[in-house]
Homo-oligomer: A and B are copies of this chain.
Amino acid sequence: MSTTPLAATRRATITDVAREAGTGKTSISRYLNGEMSVLSPELRARIEAAIERLDYQPNQMARGLKRGRNRLIGMLLADLTNPYSIEVLQGVEAACQALGLMPLICHAANEVEMERRYLQLLTTYRVEGVIVNALGVREETLRPVGGGGIPAVLVDRSVEGLVADMVGLDNRAAAELGTRHLLEHGFDDIWFVVQPFEQVSSRQLREAAFREVMRGVAGKDEGGQGGARGHTLVLNLADPEAVEHALAELDRAIDAAGRSDGAVANAIDNAIDNVSSSSVGKPARIALFAANAPVALCLALHLKARYGADWQARVALLSIDDPEWAELTGVTTIRQPTYEIGYRAVEFLHERIEGVQTTARDCLLPGELIVRASTSR
């Protein structure tokens, strides 16, 4: 049996160690803070021994109280269910590790009220900064942070009039990338499916970019992508009834597109039914563009239930985010540089905490298109 420290009941304090080492608290404190040069080797050894003997561990809370900094930062996540979140988190953790910070992770489970509560809780714990990836990102809820409050950096969202850094995907570029990919592969009936916009700027940006590209090709009648139509479908995942309605609308479109022979035979159809590219009378090649992984999953599950395992023969699916099941099902995706997003967010925050006072910065990282069978057969 190894030497179990006596202090099984109460943790040793700095005072205990000082007494045990036969010295004052200051020296212990110095030892703890690495000010070795000012300690005689002899004293140092005694302290070391005492700490060992008492199994002493300094109380971070007390340190924080005194120093005014506790090395804690808050990480507010809207939805841990979204693989995006946990990937970003990994970057955050790595950066924290490197910078000696400790992330306090708060999961708001898509509830704005919870976000508010957690934000308050974080300030109450006097975190030195917060990384926010939430829904209710608006000036009022974020009052306590940014600007005059504690340093903050926004992930995947931006809000006007708030002094805070922001890091995330280059949403415009990503949405354009995806839309162009679909157009180039001959899809001419494209549905952009997105959760309710609320205050989430990334959703708005992605949809806007999609719409803009589609508007650009709407006029052109020649070329492979003439007359393509774009639609936006809002899918409120939190409301089953709304989901059902939205999916029903989608089903009608898919059924209509597949009327003549099914989408797989479209190339042939085009050759035969070679009328003008007006969308009437010609079976459209239909594609779904999911604004993120949760939406994509919802769509895929529905389509599989409705059209069977071979659903991808009828509809193409492209998604922003690259969940683990994408490779498995052959769904084309746009992968976000999630790890880097998290890492950079912490770096930004750290700079602000250390007092590097700059104006609010935006860091837009590019997405990577990963073409899979879904859109390329």
Residues of A within 8 A of B (CB): 4, 8-9, 11, 57-62, 64-65, 70, 80-81, 86, 89-90, 93, 102, 104-105, 107, 109, 120-121, 123-126, 147-149, 297, 300-301, 304, 309, 323-325, 327-330, 373
A10 nearest CB across to chain B (Å): 9
CB distance from A77 to the nearest CB of B (A): 10
**Cβ distance A148 to chain B, nearest Cβ, rounded Å:** 3
Task: Please measure, in the bound complex, the distance between the C-alpha atom of A81 and the C-alpha atom of B148, giving whole angstroms.
Answer: 36
9 interchain pairs, CB-CB under 8 A? A8-B147, A8-B149, A81-B86, A89-B107, A297-B324, A300-B328, A301-B327, A325-B329, A329-B329
The 7 A-B pairs at the shortest CB distance, nearest first, are namely A325-B325, A8-B148, A105-B105, A60-B125, A61-B61, A60-B124, A80-B86
Q: How close is A303's CB to chain B, nearest CB, in angstroms?
A: 10
Q: Which residue of B lies closest to A70 (CB)?
A: B61
The chain B residue sitting closest to A87, CB to CB, is: B81
Which residues of B have CB within 8 Å of A61?
61, 64-65, 70, 125-126
Closest B-chain residue to A311, C-beta based?
Answer: B328
Chain B residue with Cβ nearest A62: B65
- Cα–Cα, bound, A243→B301 (Å): 30
* A328-B327 contact in complex given A65-B61, A102-B121, A148-B8, C-beta closer than 8 Å: no
- Which residues of the partner chain B approach A147 to less than 8 Å between Cβ atoms? 8
Give the shortest distance, in Å, between A152 (CB) and chain B (any CB): 14
Please give me the residue from chain B that is nearest to A104 by CB atom. Answer: B104
A57 to B93, alpha carbons, bound, how many Å?
Answer: 28
Report whether B90 and A123 are in contact in the complex, using a CB–CB cutoff of 8 Å. Answer: no
Using CB atoms, name the residue of chain B closest to A120. Answer: B57
Bound complex: CA of A86 vs CA of B8, how far in Å? 33
Report A72 CB to chain B, min CB distance, Å.
8
On whether the beta carbons of A330 and B309 are closer than 8 Å, the reply is yes
* Contact in complex: A58, B124 (CB < 8 Å): yes
Residue of B59, B123, B126, B327 near A124 (CB, 8 A) is: B59
Report the minimal beta-carbon distance from A86 to chain B, rounded to whole angstroms: 5
Given contacts A80-B89, A329-B329, 19 further A-B contacts (CB under 8 A): A11-B126, A57-B123, A58-B124, A59-B65, A60-B124, A60-B126, A61-B61, A61-B70, A61-B126, A62-B65, A65-B65, A90-B107, A93-B107, A93-B109, A102-B125, A105-B105, A297-B324, A301-B327, A323-B324
CA distance A4 to B328 in the complex (A): 52
Partner of A109, one of B11, B90, B126, B324: B90
Distance between Cα atoms of A120 and B59 in the complex (Å): 11
Are B57 and A124 in contact, with the CB atoms below 8 A? yes
Provide the bound-state CA to CA distance between A140 and B325, in Å: 38
Residues of B within 8 A of A60 (CB): 124-126
CB distance from A109 to the nearest CB of B (A): 7
Q: Which residues of B contact A105 (CB under 8 A)?
A: 104-105
CB-CB nearest in chain B for A309: B330
Complexed CA–CA distance, A24 and B215 (Å): 67
With a cutoff of 8 Å between Cβ atoms, the chain B residues found around residue A90 in the complex are 80, 107, 109
A326 nearest CB across to chain B (Å): 9
A9 to B304, CA, bound (A): 56
Let me know if A59 and B297 touch, CB within 8 A.
Answer: no
Least distance between A331 CB and chain B CB atoms (Å):
10
Query: CA of A106 to CA of B123 in the docked complex: distance in angstroms?
Result: 20
